[in-house]
Every structure is written in C-alpha cells, then in structure tokens.
Amino acid sequence: MENKQDNELMYLVAEKNTQALKIIYKRYEMRVFNFIYRYTGSRGVAQELIQETFTRLWFSAHLFDERKGNFKGWLYTMALNITRNEMSKKEYLYGFKVMDETVQHLSTNNNGIRETPEQLYEESETRNSVINALTQLKPYIREVIILKNYDHLKFKEIAEVTGAPEGTVKARYLKGIDILKAILNPKEVINHV
C-alpha cells in the first residue's frame, strides 16, 4: 500500500481504511503542520489544527474527485480553510506573538544531529524573526507567501487553493516580499529613508 498514489489512497480512505489514512498522514504531516504553524505563528494551534485537518479528511474523503484537481491542492485548501476559520473564530486577529517553545524543539535538527547552544540560539533567533515577520503580514498575503516559499506550489495552484485569481495571487506575493524585505532588513529601510 505504501507505493500507492495519493489518489488511490484517498479512495481507500473513503472506504474507511485507516492504514491508507496513516500513509497519507506520514506523507503530508510535516507540510501541513508547518503550513499551519507558519500561518498562525503558534505551534499549539498547529498541533490542534493538524488533527482537525486529518479528521476532516477522513470524513470528507468521499468528496475528493481527482478530475477536479490534485490531492495536494485539495488538502491544502482544506488546511487553509480550517486555519482561516479557527483564526477568525478565536479572534486571534492573525497577530500572534511567537511562543517561547522554539528553543525546546530545536535541540535536535532535522538530521538528528544535536546542535550547540550557539547554533540553537542563532536558529531560534532566525526562526523567531521570520515567523514574527510573517505574522505581521495580512493573512491573505501571508498564505500566498507560505504556499509559494515553503510548499512550492505554482501560482496557478495557489490561486485554486486560496480562491483568488492568479494575477491577484502574484500581486499579493510581490507585496508580501516587499514588506518582508523591509521587516527582515531594517538597515536597508533606514538607508532608504
């Protein structure tokens, strides 16, 4: 079953096959979790929403239709809608403060190699500044930046996921990059002023 395509697995999930769900989860766990984390700026919220996303996937697997689009886009649309709803429901106003949890889970990097405290600090600082910068963007701009930069979706795919026209998506991306450039390179801003 491991070798099956996403579409094939989704048909099995629709038939309530938990094994298929587990394989899909393992394939997309990191992408979905990091997408929500970068969007909300909160690891706790991301933890909560990844569960909701895959639970929703379980219930709505029968609605997936590969003729209407690929699975990745469908999953991102679902994750994005859940995140948007949650954010507006809880009235976070999309302005999170980065939580103090970053250092804790950075003690081991992705390759499983333990990092020195200096490396940890530096990485934590970078992460905090980037996540902070992202949370300062308007949500409709932030989602485009995240989907493009981290999830490597094409602009056309982002347009499908967000429901905005492709031209609008590109304009949002350009605007977001300009804002991030100003936030992440304060010296440059001062020089311009």
Partner 1 sequence: MCNINKNRLLALYFHEGTEREDKKIRGHVEQCSECRDYLLQLEETTNLLNSVTEVKPLDGTLDMIVDTLPLNAPENIQTVEWAKTDILPLKSIISIVGILLFITGSLVFLYFFHDKLDFLPFWDALEKSWAGKYLGSWGMAAILFFLFGTFISMALTPVLILENQSKKYRYYFG
Q: How far is the CB of 155 from partner 1 (least distance, A)?
A: 6
Q: Is the dihedral of CA 114, 115, 121, 122 positive or negative?
A: negative
Q: How far is the CB of 8 from partner 1 (least distance, A)?
A: 19
Q: How far is the CB of 73 from partner 1 (least distance, A)?
A: 15
Identity of the amino acid at 14: A
DSSP assignment of 10-22 equals HHHHHTT-HHHHH
Tell me 151's DSSP state. T
Tokens of 3: 């070798």
CA separation for the pair 35, 93 (Å, rounded): 18
Residues that bind partner 1 (CB under 8 A): 16, 18, 21-22, 25-26, 29-30, 33-34, 37, 43, 46-47, 50-51, 54-56, 58-60, 62-63, 78, 85, 105-106, 109-110, 123, 126-127, 130-131, 145, 148-150, 154-156, 167, 170-171, 173-174, 177, 180-181, 184-185
Select 106 or 164, whichever has its Cβ closest to partner 1. Answer: 106
Tokens of 160: 């499908």
Q: How far is the CB of 149 from partner 1 (least distance, A)?
A: 5
